[in-house]
Chain A
Amino acid sequence: GAVVSQHPSWVICKSGTSVKIECRSLDFQATTMFWYRQFPKQSLMLMATSNEGSKATYEQGVEKDKFLINHASLTLSTLTVTSAHPEDSSFYICSARDLVAGPYTDTQYFGPGTRLTVL
């Protein structure tokens, strides 16, 4: 249980184009999902908190107009990197909070990540 998937697993795009990444909770419902980015050999940095049915909450320094987040259902959140540039190349990871399973109600489970390369 508590499986989170991401699609695509990797993507290469040209500078100036937009890329959409999907995050799905496969066997549980997630009212809250989180988006992180990770540079090589570094830790995960939270970008934003995605709330089902409402606007996402962005961390300080993250451009909300550049990283569009939509949480349309209890099992799907999307991150769209708009007008991508080479400096946006990174490993993007989502997580979902399972409110029911596990010993604690706020455990986060992570997706496998999406490797974005902007040429």
Chain B
Amino acid sequence: GESVGLHLPTLSVQEGDNSIINCAYSNSASDYFIWYKQESGKGPQFIIDIRSNMDKRQGQRVTVLLNKTVKHLSLQIAATQPGDSAVYFCAENNGGATNKLIFGTGTLLAVQP
């Protein structure tokens, strides 16, 4: 079936460095993608989203890149801080009337001081 997956289950970076978290999706018809951050014991927190008619979108210290040709999504975090340590999920909106989200497997970002 359709799925959204991540290349790296764990990413360890030094504080102050930039982080890049990758995600591959398989449904070429998906037109909306979201990145969520989930800290231990908490619900997912919206970070940034992007429509398929764009290839880049920037937020505060975060940038999402979308490559529809290879069905790849990435989240870039600039100047990574200890507070960025969490599990990051990409999610794919399958469109339609219900707009269900399909979540990737998640990447644990560990920021080393």
Residues of A within 8 A of B (CB): 2, 4, 6, 32, 34, 42-46, 49, 57, 93, 95, 97, 103-104, 106-113, 115
Contact = CB atoms under 8 A, between A and B. Distances in A.
Interface of B: 32, 34, 36, 41-46, 49, 51, 89, 93, 98-106
Contacts, number: 58
Contacts of B102: 46
A44 B101 CA distance: 10
Nearest to B99: A106
A49 B99 CA distance: 9
B34 A108 contact: yes
Contact of A46 (B36, B101, B106): B101
A97 B101 CA distance: 11
B99 A43 contact: no
Nearest to B42: A112
